[in-house]
Copies of this chain bind each other. A is one copy, B any other.
Amino acid sequence: MYFLGVDGGGSKTEAVIIDENLNIYGRGKSGPADVFNSNKETVKNNLISAINSALDSKRIRIEDIRFGGFGLPAVGELREAIEIYSDIIKEILPGRFIIFNDVRGALEGAFPFENGVVLLAGTGIMAMGKVNDEVFRIDGWGEHAGDCGSGYDIGRECLRYIFKMYDGRIEKSYMYELIKEDFEEILRKTKGINSRGYIASYSKIVCESAKNGDKFALKILENAVEEWKLTVSAIRGRIGRNEKIKLAVVGGLKNCKILYDKFLSWVREQDWIVIAEPMYEPSIGCAILAMKNYKGI
């Protein structure tokens, strides 16, 4: 019995085919699958392309797929998301799929057989956990209403400091010297849509500067850690008072060593958190959710 897992996001889509024993039969990759940032036709083509690549590698036909699990952005936030995605996917895998938030797939991949929480910290940031079949989420509300302490947030603060230095509002620091791009180009790229990822890329400049003792960069990372602590602390309200919970941190910000170390040293003081590594990647989590929901029928 073959199950399909598809993890779609703002920048890429990953598909995987597994059987009920979690053997992997194929993998595929393609571009973005966010209908609120790309047009529907693009999303459809990317989904098909990733799935076809996954099918192709072991010559499994689409008809052989029992059930598919699609982890996609904005599901569970905007009511219309499910309907829009369903319209697309029912032409690919008619009647044999389930749709959920992409972070739900990451959570299932990290903890397929036990309770746990993932903190997904990349361009955006969200904590999602499951405790005895109850699933909860904290933050992940996008760069305007939330994503507190995200790569976008860190990058935005970097740009704001840089332009303060440019204006003479504050003194220039190490961070300023790292900005090779001319300032007009930054303004051009931060205008309009799809600037989120570009802005988040400046988080690397912040990490690099903090390593060199830049006080503004260190301040930005301090603030981000405070937001992470607030987000993770809110988990405690969702689990039993004396329960411990496993926490897996995933996403690009884990590579920002100063930030992650600051966070870890706080976590070590929390006797209710146990840091864990994810068991599987998000696309496999999506396939496992497909399997669990197929069994559930």
Q: Which residues of A contact B (CB under 8 A)?
A: 36-37, 74, 77-79, 138-139, 141-142, 144-146, 148, 156, 159-160, 162-164, 167-170, 184, 186-188, 190-193, 195, 199, 230-231, 233-234, 237-238
Contacts and interface: CB of A to CB of B under 8 A. Distances in A.
Given A36-B192, A167-B234, A159 B186 contact: no
A271 to B, nearest CB: 20
Contact of A163 (B78, B145, B167, B186): B145
A145 B234 contact: no
A78 B184 contact: yes
Contact of A142 (B145, B170, B184, B191): B191
B77 A169 contact: no
Given A148-B164, A160-B146, A192-B36, A187 B141 contact: yes
A184 B193 CA distance: 21
A223 to B, nearest CB: 12
Contacts of A168: 138, 234, 237-238
Nearest to A198: B144
A81 B273 CA distance: 53
Q: Is the interface of A mostly helix, strand, loop or mixed?
A: helix
A188 B74 CA distance: 10
Contacts of A169: 138-139, 230-231, 233-234
Contact of A139 (B78, B145, B167, B192): B167
Nearest to A79: B184
B230 A145 contact: no
7 tightest Cβ-Cβ pairs between the two chains A and B: A145-B159, A144-B190, A169-B234, A146-B163, A138-B167, A141-B163, A169-B230
Contacts of A188: 78
A112 to B, nearest CB: 25
